[in-house]
Amino acid sequence: MRPINKSVFIKSLDCRRLAWHLYRNLVERDRLSGDDFLIYESKKIHSMAQELFAGGIQVKAATLQEALDKTKEFTSNPEIKAVFEPVFEYNGFTARADILSRHGDEWHITEVKAGNKGKRKYIIDMAYTALILSKNIKNISKSKLMLMSKDFRLGMPVERLFSETDFTTEVFTKMHEYDAICPDIKAMLENEIPPDMQLKMCCKNCPMFKQCTGKDIDFHIFDLPRLSHTSFDQLCSMNINTIKDVPDCVELTETQKNVKDCIINDKIFISPNLKTELEKINFPVYYLDFESVMTIYPLYQNICPHTQIVTQYSLHKASNLSDEPEHFEFIADHTKDDRLSLAENLIKDIGEEGSIITYSSFEHQILQHLAGLYPHLHEKISKISSRIVDLEAILKSNYYDKQFHGKTSIKKVLPIMIPEMNYNSLEIAEGGSALSAFAYMGVGLYNEEQIAETKKNLLEYCKQDTLALVKMHRFLAQAASIQF
């Protein structure tokens, strides 16, 4: 049988059926363009961490057996002070550590992660690695975690890039728990029959949902917005997985009741409040969308890891609900932190009166941040913030089409409300791709031609978002019977 790796083992802790399919490479996952940039950054961070371990050597191998052999050779050589990415195997389970360093007769395992918070979530990962390593080498005395330091700024020496935490006690405790369940997990994975499916909260985001617990169910209970664990458990105990079967004795929120009503009575929910909410919008109306970049390793001077930097906006302006709107846009110079230019241009383009429609609270958060960053623009930016109307919040409380399936993201609801509008023909069609496209330019991986093409695609993508807002506003106004 094939080796059992860390990712399969960890998945088996949540769902054995999913782990069984992963083990056999039977789970399809959409590959996003942002994934490649994440891999690029992860490699960079790991190689910077390795710089801190003098006398270390990397295990480079084409096959598992070669990696195992090289690891054995390097760890047996007392001249080698650290081994990077060593691979170990025990009873069918394999693990690759990030850094294994020699300290006299003892070994320390160091895991390097690109995050900067939530340290405890890594203990599971570290415990599995420690378990497999401890079956191969003696005297592992420490298990440490290196995360990106929030205090690091571009330009500082690499020693300041990481913050280190010793998790030896927690890791060793969990490691013994895992040791006890490994035989059971191995037997389950090697069994030709997959474990039974069982509906649980984590099914909602499982890549196998549609072919497993969600198979052939039209309006799953997961379509109920903000379904609580208590309601979920109650429904599971009654063996109910579709909204159509939810009995009246199950307590639902007002929004959930509306969703259920739409499905049972095959209708669209339009709240009487929709008209009131939309009539509060003042003309001229601006439709605003920001895009941003966030890299692990900072792109610009004085920026810390994982900083979100706004890089572009699209702005449509309409004097009424029927005329062709005007369009404004801005994209940052990718070679520098260009947020001041962006803020100044936005102030110029967005005028001093009229509502500003956004979709979600993201634009408001970005504006608050810009106001804090540039005290001389604080008053002007705060006034812009105070004009914002969140169309998603209006939609959530006042309009529901059962085809939304409990979602309100623009990519989900737009094709249902405005079928002729979608992102299919765009080179950049989702936020993650936009973020990584800018990041590629920022780190200098694109030539002039690629930069020109990327900026054009980014502007088109952002423009599509605000045009979608214009159309959705008009659609809702029509649904609420507002005179055009």
**Which spans of this chain sit near ligand SF4 (rule: CB under 6 A)?**
15, 17-18, 197-198, 202-203, 206, 208-209, 212-213
In whole angstroms, the minimum distance from the beta carbon of 73 to ligand SF4 comes to 40
In whole angstroms, the minimum distance from the beta carbon of 20 to ligand SF4 comes to 8
Strands 93-96, 87-90: parallel, antiparallel or unpaired by DSSP?
antiparallel
In whole angstroms, the minimum distance from the beta carbon of 8 to ligand SF4 comes to 13
Among residues 15 and 45, whose Cβ is nearest to ligand SF4? 15
Among residues 214 and 325, whose Cβ is nearest to ligand SF4? 214
Among residues 214 and 442, whose Cβ is nearest to ligand SF4? 214
Among residues 18 and 288, whose Cβ is nearest to ligand SF4? 18
Distance CA 439, CA 311 (A): 10
Q: Is the bond preceding 284 in cis, omega lying within 30 degrees of 0?
A: yes
In whole angstroms, the minimum distance from the beta carbon of 22 to ligand SF4 comes to 9
Please give the C-alpha separations between residue 68 and each of 95, 97, 136, 187, 237, in angstroms, as whole numbers: 10, 12, 11, 24, 48
Among residues 202 and 416, whose Cβ is nearest to ligand SF4? 202
- DSSP assignment of 86-139 equals -EEEETTEEEE-SEEEEETTEEEEEEE-S-SS-GGGGHHHHHHHHHHHHTTSS-
Considering Cα of 373, then 376, then 381, then 386, what sign does the dihedral take?
A: positive
Distance CA 276, CA 397 (A): 12
Distance CA 117, CA 278 (A): 40
In whole angstroms, the minimum distance from the beta carbon of 256 to ligand SF4 comes to 22
Distance CA 89, CA 66 (A): 12
Strands 285-294, 308-318: parallel, antiparallel or unpaired by DSSP?
antiparallel
In whole angstroms, the minimum distance from the beta carbon of 23 to ligand SF4 comes to 12
How many residues in the chain?
484
- Give the count of alpha carbons within 13 A of 359, CB side only: 24
Report yes or no: 32 and 432 within 8 Å, Cβ to Cβ: yes
In whole angstroms, the minimum distance from the beta carbon of 24 to ligand SF4 comes to 13
Residue 282: CB atoms within 10 Å: 12
Among residues 11 and 46, whose Cβ is nearest to ligand SF4? 11
Report yes or no: 410 and 461 within 8 Å, Cβ to Cβ: no
Among residues 207 and 415, whose Cβ is nearest to ligand SF4? 207
In whole angstroms, the minimum distance from the beta carbon of 195 to ligand SF4 comes to 8
Chain-centre distance for alpha carbon 59: 30
In whole angstroms, the minimum distance from the beta carbon of 263 to ligand SF4 comes to 21
Structure tokens at 426: 């765009």
